[in-house]
Structure 1
């Protein structure tokens, strides 16, 4: 399996909801002996047919995006008070990515700034390599700054975005699968492209 471009398939999670469900039908009398109700497939054969129809790459892409989105939520929870205390960032990022976030928080505390509002995200997995010794993924995220503010706690005012800063830009990230779960390993927030 090599790197490929892809979009998340929205139906993957719906397949899981149906795996454990089975319906038992009972027959009622009133027909001839030849008119017997058809036997339903067993639970094991139903689960096997659903499992066979699930794309393993789509399952991994869903897991990558879940880890990235959880990291993004925890990151915003840290940026609001300019402190990672009380967050669960360590569950979703490796030491390198956590170092990037902690550097941001340190600069924010020195400047007396915090974040208010929300960042919009529209992330997708752009590459997935499950054959690597450590499975890896690359993500592209269209970040929306429309409801995001940097607030100066000393001057008690919102710091406007630089005039050249687009409201929507592409941020990239990398992730790796460690011990059965995906972790964000790096963030590139420079945002060279608009989206």
Structure 2
């Protein structure tokens, strides 16, 4: 399940780097709900004329697992120290809000499907600092 999340995150980074999911394999790792969240982000990015440059650091861990339902919860220490939003029209970096911590805990849900683990939900609302 960690491998599926890491693969989804890598595909998500590719999509955010161009504000477009074309050419990625997001559907292989994310269910419709999680994929919908990413597609909404991409639509907002396209409308704003922004892309993401740099990377987001990840340190995911399984924090809860219901073996009967097969729905684990992951926590990920997200590191934004190399992340930047770039305005493609103005040709400049948009700084992160001052209140945005550079490292925070994010929760992710996954589910066992016939072909492997799939990410079902991403909660990008930052939790505690990590």
* TM-score > 0.5 by shorter chain: yes
Q: Which residue of 2 aligns with 1:96?
A: 33
**Which residues of structure 1 form unaligned runs of 5+?**
1-63
Q: Which residue of 2 aligns with 1:150?
A: 85
Relative contact order: is structure 1 or structure 2 higher (C-alpha 8 Å, sep ≥ 6)?
2
TM-score (norm 1): 0.66
**Which residues of structure 2 form unaligned runs of 5+?**
none
Please give the alpha-carbon distance, in whole angstroms, between the structure 2 residues aligned to 1:153 and 1:100.
22
2:23 to 63, 86, 90: 86
1:79 deviation in Å? 0.2
1:192 deviation in Å? 2.5
TM-score (norm 2): 0.98
Q: Which moved more, 1:174-183 or 1:97-106?
A: 174-183
- 4+ runs of 1 displaced by more than 2 Å? none
1:180 deviation in Å? 4.5
Higher strand share: 2
Please give the alpha-carbon distance, in whole angstroms, between the structure 2 residues aligned to 1:115 and 1:105.
10
